[in-house]
Structure 1
């Protein structure tokens, strides 16, 4: 592995930044402290422009290279944390109750800051770099809000690159999936309105729990009996809430969950089937069922040529043998996909030490990944905007 020496020289500074961000996690659109730190760092590094408040708490930095080229490369990192109570045991654990950087966005933010510091000091590229620090990636639509507020109108990019840490991959490896790389996602909320009663006289009720239990089972047929086998989809019911007493049949139950997909025709079919099943069960049981389904993530599609370019740049840092363009697509989702619908680019996964999965209360990001990620970000700029 050959981390850029200048970045390696301030690796301890990156660790300090990451630990501070980790200790003060903020949820989507609440990243006020994080955004303030990012903006101050970018100003201190000498970027030509620093813009705050884009997409709520988003920050964008602009840096010009030595040459007069007019091409622009965008680099993006996410900043938000998750509503999880930390149980990692690290000395710099979250000080904000019920908040945790369990997905490593503190690391992503730090890596992009490291790349900005190095590129601002060297400016060994011909063109412009746009550093995008995005809020609210975790299902709240931060990318879409930044785009709606003119992100790429104000800061047009020719190419765009992002990355994510991967505790499930070997340390020091980089993987990219050309083409569809991560699933799109819709979230659904289903409200069942029945009739409550005394639990000893259930014949007087129209029990929403029984209705809901039947519905949860029927929803599984969307995958097993309606989806073409060669077009993967995942439908998961993740909450089922009803009742508050031993002796009361409640009058209401709510169910929610997610659908993950790679094909537009499949998600259209799945959403339609969820609505049809709810309508049929409502009629059969004599209850009312309200359904709210909303698309939250698009399918993330990596440009094949830029995926190759990204892998080549990463190979200069981690070694060619440690990079792969044959990583299987993930059924997880990432709203960087919304940006890639507008600007061609690629998204990579960087492996690191540790075996606790993402979104787990015990997740620990390996600090050794920080100069690696920063170096990959910097090197793709130097290669795509070669002076």
Structure 2
């Protein structure tokens, strides 16, 4: 089947919700307005229970089907924006300076609201649908915050599903990876403390900037000479800060970045080698170097059987030929992984028109994806909680 007709009929409403959310982005744990819009829509649609303030700004809706079954299936969407100044040129661009929905979370939220509207009207399922609207996915621990606030104790589910948009220029293509699907991630902060001097007399210094620059190059040898070639891993230094004047050799420097991995053993190896390199360079240059790692994302592991369940729901909407269940693992990270540490589930991707990448100031989510994603979410509930002979 194509998009569910009832969801297609609501396409203009979904577009209006999406445009409103896009124009009013809020970054992690500040999604007060967004959460208010979500909660109001769920109540308007007739969702049985709406709980706000879960994990600070999260929202959870409970909807009971027409059957008397006890099974419960969760659907999750993220709500937060990014600290990016928008340059997309769309007429509904961000009104909040320095904040933008550059990853499509406004679309994810809209798709789940579309599914909730349809399911609340039809209730063509047996059990309970649990709609999870999560804050702070972009590295601020929103999933962990909801879990710590008792998400799965207060609103238990037997399985949980998520979805992300992908600007591949191939509208309607649905992809999912079995097993380890998205990388785990650590963030690192490194501080170099040396000795400053006049720039005309650098021999009197212990140049923190030279040391920091050397670390950037040396870290790349970790991937080339320590991580096994068949182990996927990434090490990126993304920030370096030092100096304040043209004629001063800086006394301190700071580096920051991320490592990505698909096995904890690889993460541990990379962190150990980075510490060793810092220790060795500190001794060689006579400076002090401190290293701090923060574990931000777990490896996202899709359940084998529930990968097929997600793919079957997607095939109902976009057609079997448009579904790929053997997608390659992705080195990006996603904190839905934390939910999958608690409950089995699966996380797939839905492609749309446009090829400007995610997290880019010019990113535009194609609104045509909204009823497609909403229909896939709805079919997941109808398939996983079938009413009578429904399938």
Normalised by the size of structure 1, how large is the TM-score? Answer: 0.99
**After superposition, where does 1:1-387 map in structure 2 within 5 Å?**
2-168=2-168, 170-387=170-387
> Does structure 2 retain, via aligned residues, the 8 Å contact 1:79–1:106?
yes
Structure 1 residues 211-270: Cα deviation after superposition (integer angstroms, max 9, x where no partner): 011111111111011101111110000001101111001111000000000011100111
SS at match of 2:100: coil
Distance in 1, Cα, partners of 2:118 & 2:179: 30
> Does structure 2 retain, via aligned residues, the 8 Å contact 1:169–1:350?
no
> Does structure 1 retain, via aligned residues, the 8 Å contact 2:212–2:255?
yes
Report runs of 4+ in structure 1 exceeding 6 Å deviation: none
Alpha-carbon shift at residue 208 of structure 1 (Å): 0.4
Q: Which moved more, 1:166-175 or 1:329-338?
A: 166-175
Q: 1:169 to 1:264 in 2, by over 3 A?
A: farther
Unaligned runs of at least 5 residues, structure 1: none
Alpha-carbon shift at residue 169 of structure 1 (Å): 5.4
* Alignment RMSD: 0.7
SS at match of 2:76: strand
Distance in 1, Cα, partners of 2:58 & 2:309: 27
Distance in 2, Cα, partners of 1:259 & 1:351: 26
> Does structure 1 retain, via aligned residues, the 8 Å contact 2:185–2:258?
yes
Query: How many equivalent residue pairs?
Result: 387
Distance in 2, Cα, partners of 1:321 & 1:174: 10
> Does structure 1 retain, via aligned residues, the 8 Å contact 2:187–2:295?
yes
Unaligned runs of at least 5 residues, structure 2: none
> Does structure 1 retain, via aligned residues, the 8 Å contact 2:169–2:354?
no
